[in-house]
Amino acid sequence: MRDGEVAGTAAETVAPVAPTPPAGFPDDPDLRALWDELVPKLDEAGLLAQVDGPTIELALRHFLAARQASDALSGGRVVVEDPAHGGVKKNPAGAEFRSQSDLFLKYAAQLGMSFVARARTPVAKEPDSDGDANPFQTNVG
């Protein structure tokens, strides 16, 4: 690194290796199926490091919670009985779906699971034949 040159990111120094499920990872077949589906794809894209297991687990938990809330709404019950107030109210599954979806998307962005997240993720630059990463940078005195 030259004087005044900014060092790269930690992501450039951590080997892209898929994590194993964290200790105590549940036997929930839906959670495990999502892990087995997504982790190899993220690993193939070079988006994971060994330490990402807990982040992946939380993302998947929020995804499944959003899916469960969506399933609760799929019966067409936009409103539910509200015996405490003698009428009906919005189905709380709607708010739960929005909340869990929002949380999942935040974790997904951290893991590069969206187009926008990947577009914002810098990649290591290959040096040119002279060893300089920036061909427009000059060595001025």
Q: Give 110's DSSP letter.
A: H
pLDDT for 126: 60
pTM: predicted TM-score of the whole model, two decimal places: 0.73
Tokens coding 45? 């894209």
pLDDT for 28: 87
HSE of 114, CA atoms in CB hemisphere, 13 A: 11
Question: What is the rounded distance in angstroms from the CA atom of residue 37 to the CA atom of residue 31?
Answer: 10
* pLDDT tens over the chain, length 141 residues: 455 555 567 777 777 888 988 777 878 899 999 999 999 999 998 889 999 999 999 999 999 999 999 998 887 777 888 888 889 898 899 999 999 999 999 999 999 998 888 888 776 666 555 555 565 656 555
pLDDT for 91: 86
